[in-house]
Amino acid sequence: MYHKEKSIPIKNSASALYNNLGVLRIAPRRLTYFTVVHANVVNMVSASWDGLNYSHRQLQSKEPNVATSASLIMQAAFCSLQSRELLVVTSQKGIQMYESDGSIMVYWHALDTPETTTAQAVFARGISAVPENYICVGVSSGSILVFDVPSKGTNISLSEVLDEHKESITDMASECSGSQECIADLVSADDGGNLCVWKSGEEFQLLHKIHGFDMSCSSVKLWKGTVVAGYGTGQIRLYEAVTGILHAEVNAHARWINSLDIAPFSGLLLSAGEDSLVRVWLLNLTPETNSVEIAHLHNECVTDTQICGAKFCDSDGYAFAVTGYDLGCHESPLPRVGAAGAGWRETVQD
Amino acid sequence: MSSRTLPLLFINLGGEMLYILDQRLRAQNIPADKAKKVMNDIITTMFNKKFLEELFKPQELYSKKALRTVFDRLAHASIMRLNQASMDKLYDLMTMAFKYQVLLCPRPKDILLVSFNHMDAIKDFVKDTPSILGQVDETYQQLIEMYTPMCSGEFQLIRQTLLIFFQDMHIRVSIFLKDKVQNSNGRFVLPISGPCASWNTSPRLDKVPLMFSCTGEEVNRLKFTNGGNYAAATREGSFEIFGDRVTKLGTNMYSVSRPVETHMSGTSKSSAQKTKVNAAPNPLAKEELNLLAKLMGRLEEPNPGNTDSGFRVNLFATDEEEEEALISRPDELSYGVLKIQATKDLQANAELAKIMGEFTVSGDQSPSASSKGDDLLAMMDGL
Q: Could you write out the DSSP letters of every residue in A287-326? A: TTTTEEEEEEEEEEE-TT--EEEEEESSTT-SEEEEEEBT
pLDDT tens-digit readout, B150-191: 999 999 999 999 999 999 999 988 888 888 999 988 899 998
pLDDT at B323: 82
How far A246 CA lies from chain B's nearest CA (Å)?
A: 5
Q: How many CB atoms lie within 10 A of CB B265?
A: 8
Give contacts of A256 with chain B, Cβ < 8 Å.
Answer: 107-108, 156, 197
Please indicate whether, in this complex, the C-beta atoms of A39 and B210 are within 8 angstroms of each other: no
Which chain A residue lies closest to B266 (C-alpha atoms)?
A334
How far B192 CA lies from chain A's nearest CA (Å)?
A: 7
Each residue of A42-78: b (16+ CB within 10 Å) or e? bbbbbbeeeeeebeebebebebeeeeebbbbbbbbbb
User: Is the confidence at residue B310, as pLDDT, over 60?
Assistant: yes
Give contacts of A12 with chain B, Cβ < 8 Å.
Answer: 168, 274, 277
Whole-angstrom distance between the N-terminal and C-terminal Cα of chain B? 32
pLDDT tens-digit readout, A291-322: 788 888 888 899 999 999 999 999 999 999 99
User: Is the confidence at residue A338, as pLDDT, over 80?
Assistant: no
| Residue B208 covered by a domain | no
Q: How many CB atoms lie within 10 A of CB B270?
A: 20
Q: How many CB atoms lie within 10 A of CB A115?
A: 5
Please indicate whether, in this complex, the C-beta atoms of A12 and B277 are within 8 angstroms of each other: yes
Each residue of B56-72: b (16+ CB within 10 Å) or e? bebbbbbbbbbbbbbbb
Residue A63 · residue A110 · CB < 8 Å: yes
**Better pLDDT: A200 or B259:** A200
Q: Is B197 on the interface with A (CB under 8 A)?
A: yes
| Residue B284 covered by a domain | yes
Please indicate whether, in this complex, the C-beta atoms of A304 and B103 are within 8 angstroms of each other: no
Among B274, B287, B333, B351, most A C-beta atoms within 10 A, so best to mutate, is B274
Which chain A residue lies closest to B146 (C-alpha atoms)?
A119
Please give the full DSSP string across A196-249, using - where no structure is assigned: EEEE-SSS-EEEEEE---SS-EEEEEEETTEEEEEETTSEEEEEETTT--EEEE
Give contacts of A306 with chain B, Cβ < 8 Å.
Answer: 103, 190
Among A13, A116, A330, most B C-beta atoms within 10 A, so best to mutate, is A330
Which chain B residue lies closest to A277 (C-alpha atoms)?
B227
* B87 three-state secondary structure: helix
Give Cβ neighbours of residue A51 (< 8 Å, ≥ 6 apart). Answer: A5, A6
| Residue B257 covered by a domain | yes
Give Cβ neighbours of residue A272 (< 8 Å, ≥ 6 apart). Answer: A253, A257, A258, A259, A278, A279, A307, A309, A310, A322
What is d(CA A347, CA A1) in angstroms, rounded to the nearest whole number? 5
Each residue of B86-112: b (16+ CB within 10 Å) or e? bbbbbbbbbbbbbbbbbbbbbbbbbbb
Report H helices in B263-312.
269-279, 283-296
Q: Which of B160, B228, B284 is the closest to A17 by Cβ?
A: B160
Which chain A residue lies closest to B203 (C-alpha atoms)?
A251
Q: Minimum mean pLDDT among A248-257, A283-292, B300-309: which range?
A: B300-309
Residue B268 · residue A334 · CB < 8 Å: yes
What is d(CA B153, CA B159) in angstroms, rounded to the nearest whole number? 10
Give contacts of B170 with chain A, Cβ < 8 Å.
Answer: 326
Give Cβ neighbours of residue B117 (< 8 Å, ≥ 6 apart). Answer: B15, B245, B247, B248, B249, B250, B251
Give Cβ neighbours of residue B124 (< 8 Å, ≥ 6 apart). Answer: none
Among A62, A277, A281, most B C-beta atoms within 10 A, so best to mutate, is A277
Give the domain range for residue B118: 6-188+248-382
Q: Minimum mean pLDDT among A115-119, B43-47, B186-190, B209-213: which range?
A: B209-213
pLDDT at A293: 82
**Better pLDDT: A158 or B226:** A158
| Residue B203 covered by a domain | no
Give Cβ neighbours of residue B301 (< 8 Å, ≥ 6 apart). Answer: none
Q: Minimum mean pLDDT among A50-59, A140-149, A243-252: which range?
A: A243-252
Q: Which of A12, A16, A119 is the closest to B163 by Cβ?
A: A16
Q: How many CA atoms lie within 13 A of B148 on its CB side?
A: 12
Give contacts of B230 with chain A, Cβ < 8 Å.
Answer: 254
Q: How many domains does chain B fold into?
A: 1
Q: Which of B4, B199, B284 is the closest to A119 by Cβ?
A: B4
Give the phi and the psi of residue A312 in degrees, each rounded to 5. -70, 150
Give contacts of A247 with chain B, Cβ < 8 Å.
Answer: 213-214
Q: Is B211 on the interface with A (CB under 8 A)?
A: yes
User: What's the mean pLDDT when you consider all of chain B?
Assistant: 74
Please indicate whether, in this complex, the C-beta atoms of A74 and B270 are within 8 angstroms of each other: no
pLDDT at A333: 28
| Residue B182 covered by a domain | yes
Please indicate whether, in this complex, the C-beta atoms of A191 and B154 are within 8 angstroms of each other: yes
Give contacts of B103 with chain A, Cβ < 8 Å.
Answer: 306, 325
Q: Which of A252, A333, A337 is the closest to B209 by Cβ?
A: A252
- State the count of interchain CB pairs (< 8 A) between A and B: 201
Give contacts of A192 with chain B, Cβ < 8 Å.
Answer: 151, 153
Average pLDDT over residues B183-212: 65
Q: So what's the ipTM on this one?
A: 0.93
Q: Is B164 on the interface with A (CB under 8 A)?
A: yes
Give contacts of A325 with chain B, Cβ < 8 Å.
Answer: 103, 163, 167
Q: Is B231 on the interface with A (CB under 8 A)?
A: no
Helices and strands in chain B: count of H runs, count of E runs: 16, 7
Please indicate whether, in this complex, the C-beta atoms of A335 and B196 are within 8 angstroms of each other: no
Average pLDDT over residues A42-57: 92
How far A229 CA lies from chain B's nearest CA (Å)?
A: 14
How far B346 CA lies from chain A's nearest CA (Å)?
A: 15
User: Is the confidence at residue B230, as pLDDT, over 90?
Assistant: no
| Residue B294 covered by a domain | yes
| Residue B207 covered by a domain | no
**Better pLDDT: B225 or A31:** A31
pLDDT at A30: 94
Residue A145 corresponds to which amino acid?
Answer: L
Please indicate whether, in this complex, the C-beta atoms of A170 and B224 are within 8 angstroms of each other: no
Q: pLDDT > 90: what percent of chain A?
A: 70
What is d(CA B344, CA B352) in angstroms, rounded to the nearest whole number? 12
pLDDT at B356: 47
What is d(CA B364, CA B358) in angstroms, rounded to the nearest whole number? 10
**Better pLDDT: A296 or B359:** A296
Q: Is B227 on the interface with A (CB under 8 A)?
A: yes
Average pLDDT over residues B23-30: 89
What is d(CA B262, CA B254) in angstroms, rounded to the nearest whole number? 13
pLDDT tens-digit readout, B83-134: 888 999 999 999 999 999 999 998 999 999 999 999 999 999 999 999 999 9
User: Is the confidence at residue A128, as pLDDT, over 80?
Assistant: yes
Give contacts of A116 with chain B, Cβ < 8 Å.
Answer: 58
What is d(CA B383, CA B381) in angstroms, rounded to the nearest whole number? 5
**Better pLDDT: B127 or B212:** B127
Give contacts of A279 with chain B, Cβ < 8 Å.
Answer: 209, 227
| Residue B194 covered by a domain | no
